[in-house]
Amino acid sequence: MARIRHKSLDCSPGCAVEATLQLIDGKWKGVILYHLLEGTLRFNEIRRRLPNITQRMLTAQLRELEQDGFVLRTVYAEVPPKVEYSLTARGRTLEPVIMALKKWGDENTGFRRDPESSADLDEPAADCPVSCVQAGG
Amino acid sequence: MARIRHKSLDCSPGCAVEATLQLIDGKWKGVILYHLLEGTLRFNEIRRRLPNITQRMLTAQLRELEQDGFVLRTVYAEVPPKVEYSLTARGRTLEPVIMALKKWGDENTGFRRDPESSADLDEPAADCPVSCVQAGG
DNA sequence: CTGGATCCTGTGGGATACTG
DNA sequence: CAGTATCCCACAGGATCCAG
């Protein structure tokens, strides 16, 4: 099993729920996975999509995702270092989960995105309004 | 609406994904929600389903879930204290998310094989590495 | 450009004891 | 039975500087 980052699981029937959650927890895992669904991305490309993440964390999260077998890290031995990250087949199995998460978020966190076209959530918008952060209830 | 417990979100399109994750993070939220899908449960009933949780944590998680508007806490002014927890309509909207999480977990729990040969994922281990007690509902 | 090494803090979460 | 209050620590995660 994925190396237990937390403690051991509670093996109730909800075990699976918890197990899955542990894999995509960590403030960034989910978002990174989401962006990777679009396709291969380079280190800095991901970074630009997650303006608030530090390279330290990005590297760490990416490493964990890699260890969990979700992302593939491809290093190009070039003068200007180039590393690409892409989802593995296993990583893609998470798509329905990520999408379920996004769907719910779109419909409930009031983040907005065309209420009309709320059906097509498989086409990530390239931007987010400034007031994306829900300022409290 | 859940007030931001963590920091502010990253306004990427994956924003919604992160937002949703923040609501069900915390080592227990997901599992508690899952069990509550079965129906109303009393404090100790939940506790029995999560043998490793401490009342301190259970109370805390339940409180957050309550604040996020996912669970309803009903107190009965009886001699032997009795408190029931049930999902609110809003809480039920999370069902597809929880189920997506569980489904993935059911199909993948017990993994972690070479990221190299992660191409094949047609070997679902439908069990928990540890003893997965099926607390039949 | 990519990301390792260090240092430092906040807080999630565990143990235990007490109360109504 | 349900819940609160304390103490305490490990670790997720942030800031920076350094290096190939």
CB-based contacts of B127, cutoff 8 Å, min separation 6 = B109, B110
* DSSP label at residue B84: E
Q: What are phi and psi for residue A75, nearest 5 degrees?
A: -100, 135
Cβ-Cβ contacts under 8 Å, A115 against chain B: none
With CB atoms and an 8 Å threshold, state whether A101 touches B20. yes
- Helices then strands, counting H and E runs in chain A, come out as 6, 3
Tokens of A23: 């894999």
Average pLDDT, chain A: 77
Angstroms from A79 CA to nearest CA on chain B: 26
Tell which residue, B87, B134, B31, has the closest CA to residue A17: B31
Rounded to whole angstroms, how far apart are CA atoms B77 and B48?
A: 23
Q: Is 60 exceeded by the pLDDT of residue A24?
A: yes
Strand, coil or helix: B2: coil
Q: Is 80 exceeded by the pLDDT of residue A131?
A: no
Neighbours of A80 (CB within 10 A): 5
**In chain C, which nucleotides are within 7 Å of a protein Cβ?**
1-6, 12-17, 20
Nearest residue for D5, CA–C1': B56
Tokens of A26: 């960590």
With CB atoms and an 8 Å threshold, state whether B14 touches A34. yes
Across the interface, which of A28, A32, A88 has its CB nearest the CB of B118?
A88
Interface test with A, best of B3, B6, B8, B11 (most A CBs within 10 A): B11
Which residues in window 87-106 of A are less than 7 A from strand D by Cβ?
none
Rounded to whole angstroms, how far apart are CA atoms B123 and B83?
A: 43
- Measure Cα distances from A116 to A18, A107, A121, A129 in Å: 33, 11, 11, 17
- pLDDT tens for chain B, 137 residues long, are 444 555 555 556 667 888 899 899 888 999 999 999 999 999 999 999 988 899 999 999 999 999 999 999 999 998 899 999 999 999 999 999 999 999 999 888 754 333 333 333 333 333 333 333 333 32
Pairing assessment for the beta strands B71-76 and B41-42 based on DSSP bridges: unpaired
Q: Does A17 contact B at CB distance below 8 Å?
A: yes
The pLDDT-based confidence of A12 (bands split at 50, 70, 90) is low
Q: Does B36 contact A at CB distance below 8 Å?
A: no
The pLDDT-based confidence of A10 (bands split at 50, 70, 90) is low
Q: What are phi and psi for residue B116, nearest 5 degrees?
A: -60, -55
Q: Is 70 exceeded by the pLDDT of residue A133?
A: no
